[in-house]
Each structure stands twice: as structure tokens, then as C-alpha cells.
Structure 1
């Protein structure tokens, strides 16, 4: 009979009942292996595969196993790992749109996530047909299905699903074994998930390379490195006037879509976004000094700038009967930067500073004055072979010498009103 059951906790009675269907020593060995972190497995997928194979070898009639972890991610609702006998573990993700689908509304996992209850559906029970997912399982020869909540220490509820093709489904001893495995599996899953969450958050807020350094221990003020990089500094033209005449919610939406135009191009060509500053964006493209790939890197930066320009030009926002178009400017430079922790007390920022960054910021302002989308420094123009147009020398605040600036020969300047 399909039913909802309170979450079972691992205790002496549960383990004792499980021992009737599986040798006590073998079950305890698997539990100890999980509690110890499943160290013999190289990654999450292998850990799941190893755990399932050990359980099957010990007598649990498991055919399909799924782990569903809700994530702290701006775009992804959760990740799933699916194991089937004789197959590699499938890894997938689902986005937040799934929450509004009829499939999720009628899924056993919705009950697990929202109510923290255990759900069981025997395929020979007509009541199980209210879960469309179980129709798919029935077609694959499944006889019994159990979804168990997996609670993390922070109170969040995740889920594990267990299915069998064994005639008659899971026995009570099998169910006791399953319940006894949930708690240790939750502990090792939480450790893996926490580390992945830390990586995701760092990648989201400071960028991939910076995140790796922070997670690797560079968390003290003074932990800095010098790096050669191509520098990208851009902003949206007319942003102040735009903010003054449009609702704040509309401005935020425009900014997000505007940044999408750049971030996709930057990351697609090997760059890393370090900072959003209002409508401004700072990104770097590291150059390997040992490989000597400065020319190749700068060529990719220029290609990213062209892609971003085309995307921004195609971006529009309806205002009354017309569609408002947007323009942006980007300055490209190449040089050495100081890359690391800067701040006060225990509040730090992982960013980059140096004369090269300052020059890029000044060049971006010159791009606006000249009505240009893309301007580059003399150093960038020398490294990146292209049909450049010499735009002249300009005095730069903070620099003793005037700096020569170049633009794309094919670009027609547009003077902003």
C-alpha cells in the first residue's frame, strides 16, 4: 500500500531489524565506510556507485538509486545522481522552473522536500498511480519504490529514492537496512555538498580563479600575487540619465541583461569577471608568462569585445511606442596587476589593483568622450595585431606621460547627446 511514513531515525532497534536481512558486520562496515568519508572513492559519482554495489553485494535487492540535493545556486534548484545496476552514475541538474511544473506537483519528491515524510509506492497498489513518475518505473519492471528524506545539520531536507525489481518488492528487513543507511549517507553527502556550495558561492561572487585561491587558503590580508593579464573595463553609456527616468526595477532588469551580454562573451573567451561596479564591469584575462601567449589572449579579448558589442546593440527595452537601444564602452589594456586580498580588519575583497588597472579606467572615460565602443592602449595594440586607428595622445590623470590610444578602424564614432 502506498503511504507516507514519519522519517525513521537510526537507532538500535532499526539496526537490529536490519541485521535480520543483512549480516550485522557487513552493514556496519558499509556504515563505517560512509561515516569515514568514503575515502576509497574519488568523487561523488564513484562514492554513490561504490555504496550501491556494496549494498547489493550484501543482499539488498536494489535496482535503481537516486540522490537529489537542493543547491545554493542562483540558477540551479538542485543536482541529482542516478545509479542503475550495471550502468554509470548519471549526473544532472534542474533549474527553478521545475517547481511550477505539474510533474513536480505530483512527484513523491515534492512530499519529501516540503513535508519531510518518507513515501512508499508498491507498483501492485492502485494508489501508486497518483504519482505519474511511478508509471515510468512500473514500465521498467520496478516492483517497489521508497523515497526517504535526507536531513542535513542545517535543517534542509534532501531526498534519496530506492527502487527494486525483486518480486514482492522490499521486505521489512530491506526497509530497515535502507533507513539505517540514510543517516551516514547524509553526513558524507553534506560534507561534499558544503564544499561544493563554497566553491559555487565563491565562483558566483568573486570568480573562478579568485575562488580557487580563497578556498586554497589565501584569506589573509597581504596574500597577493603579481599577474600579467589583459584587462577589460567597461560601462553603460547614459546610465545616470537612464536611472533617473526609469523605475528602479526596470533599471535592474536592464543591467542584468546588459551584463549577460558581456559575461557570456568574457567567460567564453577565457576571461574572469572580478567586479560589478554599478554599470561598470572589471574583468581580467590571465596571460601565462611561461607560455608567452599574450598575443593569443589579447586576440580572444578583442573577439569577446566584438561579441559583447553586437549583443548590447541587439539589446532593447520598450519605452512607450519605441524600443530604446543601449551602447557601452570598453577599454582594453595589458600589463601587470597585483591580485589578492585588500581591505580592512576581517572584511576583505579579492580584487586587483595597480597602474595598469588605473590606466584602463582612464581609457574607458576617453572612449566615452570619443564616442567609441572599443579603445585600447598602445601596449594592447602592439601585442594584438589588428587594423587599428591611431586616435592620438591624451594626458592621463596620475600618469606623467600622455598615453596613445587606438580604436577599431571599422568602427564609426557616435557622439552621445
Structure 2
């Protein structure tokens, strides 16, 4: 197979056979897509423009190796006649599957400069890739894949197929290949933009990431918001971390944080930070059901912790204890820190009270404590146990404290 690096000037891949259409498509890719954030939309429009220029693309795909805490890669797939591209993600470990190893994608990512397969003829030289059977079943006659090389050695893949009888001509292949440098630049910009957003969402949460991307990057920048605040802490973590192997401790923490975090995010809470074995989350009061949603999240988190603890007991381990403190009030939401190292978080007296309530759970032996201010706003005092008044550290006056458990009320028992 001829490498793209070896084509000479007489090859149709050297370009020059469709100057007018090429110029228009390159201008569009490099200039007119500047306002388009999403590479899948660019792929769809590019294929439509290729068809109008006489390049018979029936299917096209972009394959990216992405940096994401959950996904190893993503495929954007367009088929002729569709207005949108199909997006499929692949988990870590997918690169070891037969689907990946027996594919042109693996060939490109391990160094091939091109994969070309005419699908109308099957002979001994045709690799037995399942993808080729899939393409034939769709009525496609020819397939070509090339690397999309981004900076710092990051390699991705683009592929085209046609249903034209006889497949792509040399001129068609040259036309497509001429777009590769521009497509590499355009796709890298979108991929890095998406990575920046993913990075921020992963480490500071979706709402804070929007604030930062919108320009809230200077120390002291932020807003005052009303929020229900939840602070959670794992019990006896120091003893566990001293006694358990490191990998087991990390596995334990991940299981605990999954149990707590997934319900919080499900009901619209924003986890601002993980603090060792604890977490801080808020439910903005701009959502009229914020307090009810927080209670729903705690209820589901407690159920998830019960399931997790049952697994620990089966494995001969002690069940995990935890404490949760909940309060509501105005908080300063924004950037705090040194000149060069900032943390996007919330501060204020309301956060301090939630923290003191979490600490109080150790004394009163109840896993979840709520302030009367929160309970009144949630409208659920009649269904909770009033533990009386407690003077919390740093406060001049005692506050009424309520205990919550997931089975002490149902969703219908509370009203926003």
C-alpha cells in the first residue's frame, strides 16, 4: 500500500485537479467555521459540501482519543441523508477489544499512513475486518482512512466511504486528502476546547466551569448566591488509611464518593470540592425545589451507602460511617486563593454552620443533621426528629437541630 508520505507530484493526491471547489471548501473550513463550537456539526456540513462539489461521500467518521475521566475515545459518524452525526463513546480498555484490534483504526493509530479498501472485490489480500462487512451491508463500495495528526504527537483518524459504483476515483481521493491539513487544525481546536471544558467540569463542576470559561478567573471575582449547603465526611478514615493498603484505600474512597456524589449530581447539586475523605456541595436556591432535591439526594445516597456497606460486610470489613451537615443561606461563590493558585468555591457563615453540623453528628450519633433554617425552608419539620438546641462553635446563639434518615419521609412528604 502506498504511503501518503511517498506520493509524488504526479500523483492525483498532490492536488490541483479541482482548484475552485478546493479553494471554496478550504476557505469554509478555515474561516467560516470559526463560530461553530462542535466538530460533529462541522463534519456534517463538510460532507454535505463535498457532495455538492461532486465528491460522492456516503459515510464519514472521525475517531478521537480523548482525555476524559470516563471515556477513552469517541467516534463521530455521519451517513448520507442524515442531518446529524452519531456520537459514540468508548470506555477505557476498549483498545484491547477484538473490535478495535481488528480494525483499520488500529492500523492507523499504530503507524499506517493510509488504509484503502475497495469493498466490491474480496480477495485473499483483504483483511477480515468486521467493519468491511458492515460497510458492504450498507451498500458502500470503497473505504479510505487517514491519520489526523495533532500537535505533540497526538494522532486521531478520519475515514470516508462511498456507495458510488467503482468506488472513489483518484481525483476523489486527492480531493479528500487535500482537506486533511485544514481538518486536522479545525478538529484540534475543537478537541482542545472540549478538553478544557471537560477538565474544568471534572475538577470544579459544571456550574463553576461555566463561570470560569465566561471569564471569572481573577482573584476575588464571584457572586453572592443563596444555596442549600451539604458537607459530608467519612468516619474513621485516618485509621482505615493507616491499616489498609494504598490501592484498597483508593478503591474504598471511590466507592464512597460514587455513592454520595451520583445522587447529588442527579438532583441538580454541584460538588465544589473533595476534601480528603469529605465533600462540599451546594444546591442553588435559584431552583425552587433545591431543598427538596437535596433531601432526595441524601435519601438515595444513604441507600447507596447501605448497599456499599453490605458488600464490605460480606468481604469481612467493617461498614463505613459518615456524617452529613446541611444548612441554607447566602454564600460568596467565586475565586479565592493566592495570586497564582485559585480555588473556585463557596465561603461564608452558612458554610461554617453546615460544617459545624457535620461535626456534631459525631456527638449525637446521627448520620445526618439539618438546621432549623433549612428544615423550615424545605417544609418538612413534621416528618423529622427535633433534637433540640445546640451551641455550635463560633456561634453566639444555639440553633435548633433536626435529624434525618432516608426512611423517615418520602418525596411526597416534602414540598418546595
TM-score by length of 1: 0.91
Show the counterpart of 2:296.
303
Query: Is 1:64–1:83's contact at 8 Å kept on the other side of the alignment?
Result: yes
CA distance in structure 1 between the aligned counterparts of 2:6 and 2:209, rounded to whole angstroms: 38
Within the candidate set 308, 315, 334, 2:308 is matched to 315
Q: 2:94 aligns with which of 92, 98, 113?
A: 98
1:116–1:157 CA contact under 8 A, matched in 2: no
Provide the rounded CA distance (Å) in 2 between the counterparts of 1:181 and 1:14: 16
Cα RMSD (Å) of the superposition?
Answer: 2.2
Kept in 1: contact 2:366–2:403 (CA 8 A)? yes
String of CA shifts for 1:208-227, please: whole Å, max 9, x gaps. 11101111111010102101
Assess, with a 3 A threshold, how the Cα gap between structure 1 residues 340 and 116 changes in structure 2: closer, same or farther. farther
For 1:43 and 1:201, the matched residues in 2 are separated by 17
Partner Cα distance (2:11, 2:385) in 1: 78
Closer/same/farther in 2, CA of residues 354 and 41 from structure 1, 3 Å limit: closer
- Report the number of matched residues: 402
**Post-superposition offset of 1:409:** 7.2
Moved more, 115-124 or 278-287: 115-124
Residues 1:150 and 2:145 aligned together = no
- Alpha-carbon spacing, 1:55–1:83, altered in 2? closer, same or farther (3 Å): same
CA distance in 2, matches of 1:40, 1:15: 33
SS in 1 for 2:318: strand
Change (3 A) 1:7 1:157: farther
CA 1:31 to 1:385, structure 2 compared with 1: closer, same or farther past 3 Å? same
Structure 1 stretches lacking a partner, 5+ long: 413-417
1:13-162 paired onto structure 2 within 5 Å:
17-20=14-17, 23-39=18-34, 43-88=38-83, 89-123=85-119, 124-126=121-123, 127-162=125-160
Q: In 2, Cα distance between the equivalents of 1:14 and 1:301? A: 65
Give the secondary structure class of the aligned counterpart of 2:152. coil
- Contact 2:12–2:171 (8 Å) recurs in 1: no
Q: 1:132 to 1:224 in 2, by over 3 A?
A: same
After superposition, give the CA deviation of every residue in 1:281-334 in whole Å (9 maximum; x if it has no partner): 10011111xx7x2xx210110110011011111104558962432222111110
More displaced, 347-356 or 319-328? 319-328
Q: Secondary structure at the match of 2:188?
A: helix
Tell me how far apart the structure 1 counterparts of residues 43 and 9 of structure 2 sit (CA, whole Å): 25
Matches within 5 A, 1:252-401: 252-288=250-286, 293=288, 296-316=289-309, 318=312, 322-386=316-380, 387-401=383-397
Deviation at 1:154, TM superposition (A): 2.9
Look up the match of 2:205: 207
SS in structure 1 of the partner of residue 15 of structure 2: helix
How many angstroms apart in 1 are the aligned matches of 2:230 and 2:2?
A: 56
| TM-score where L is the length of structure 2 | 0.91
1:14 Cα deviation from its structure 2 partner: 7.1
Match of 1:189?
187
Deviations 1:16-56 (A, max 9, x none): 85333xx3111111011101152475743332111111111
Select which of 167, 170, 174 maps to 2:168: 170
Give the distance between the partners of 1:390 and 1:307, measured in 2 at CA.
22
Report if the CA contact (8 A) 1:41-1:50 is conserved. no
Match of 1:415 in 2: none
Instruction: Give yes or no for contact 1:332–1:380 (8 Å, CA) kept in 2.
Output: yes
CA distance in 1, matches of 2:215, 2:315: 54
Q: What SS does the aligned partner of 1:226 have?
A: strand
In structure 2, the gaps of 5 or more residues are 409-416
